[in-house]
Amino acid sequence: MDDPHAVHRLVPDLLADPVNGEVRWDPVRSLWNGGACAVTLVAGPLTVTPGALALFVATTGVGLLLGHSVGFHRKLIHGSFACPPWLERLLCWFGTSVGMGGPSWMMRAHDLRDWAQRLPACHDYLRHGRSPLRDAWWQLHCRLVLRHPPRFDQGRVATDRFYRFLDATWAWQQLPIAALCWWAGGWGFVVWGVAARVFASAHGHWLIGWLAHNRGPQTWLVAGSGVQAHDVPWAGLMTMGEAWHNNHHAWPASAKLGVYPGQSDWGFAFIRLLERVGLAWDVRTPETLPVRDVLRAAG
């Protein structure tokens, strides 16, 4: 692409409409997210131990760092660095293990929202434009059916056997993890290493998404975009740098999200570690990317 910041998989379509559509209940995703929530709230207090909590923190952190942030978001979706194919697949398995969906689903969900938010107006579902309770119900239990959706070409990801396998079995990927947890510590480890982890990851992803599009500090505005992003400073560490969302809207192709002093970014630190050992290259940062004429200083 001439523009590294573009939505790379978008197929130009003049009929595509980001505004008109209907939010419908998604039974599979609703039962999945609702089930993880119910198991956590009911069985979590009955099985909590220091070991189970340590497992929860470790597995949630590893999944969000290696998988969701580095594997899915910065590598597969934005191509902000290059790495060997085996490493990309491994990182994307970790992304699938987070429990929100497989590679193709995550790419489609991200690219649809990315495309819509860059336009002057879009559906409230795509802009997190309703109250927190309504938006949580929509994002965690429903899907948006646009009357005239855009088309996307996912290229090699759509034809890669491994990625197709992950898409078909994304929920079942929790079974080997559950087996390891049970072997290591019984049912308490299963509750906290699987159900609580999936619950926290999915609901936390929604919460940061809602906040990052509604409130918080802003350094940059993107001219022409109907949706402007905010940073969520208190969540910078626990989201592996993903909470610096205003920076991300300013430089979507950047592997570095914590751009300014004091903005923690474990995802970028991990990419730099990969670069030092020769497993990552062509790492993009705001300093190495083309100047964006659409950027304006906020305030």
Q: What is the pTM of this model?
A: 0.95
Confidence of residue 240 (pLDDT cuts 50, 70, 90): very high
**Per-residue model confidence (pLDDT) at position 3:** 86
Please check the confidence at residue 2 and state whether its pLDDT lies above 80: no
Give CA–CA dist 244/69, Å, rounded: 12
Write down the domain spans for the chain.
10-215
pLDDT at 1 over 80: no
Of the pLDDT bands very low, low, confident and very high (cuts 50, 70, 90), residue 299 is confident
The burial class, CB within 10 Å (0-12 / 13-18 / 19+), for 261 is exposed
> What does the pLDDT look like over 44-75, one tens digit per residue?
999 999 999 999 999 999 999 999 999 999 99
pLDDT (tens digit per residue) in 241-259: 999 999 999 999 999 999 9
pLDDT in tens, 180-219: 999 999 999 999 999 999 999 999 999 999 999 999 999 9
Q: Which residues pair with 25 in a beta bridge?
A: 142
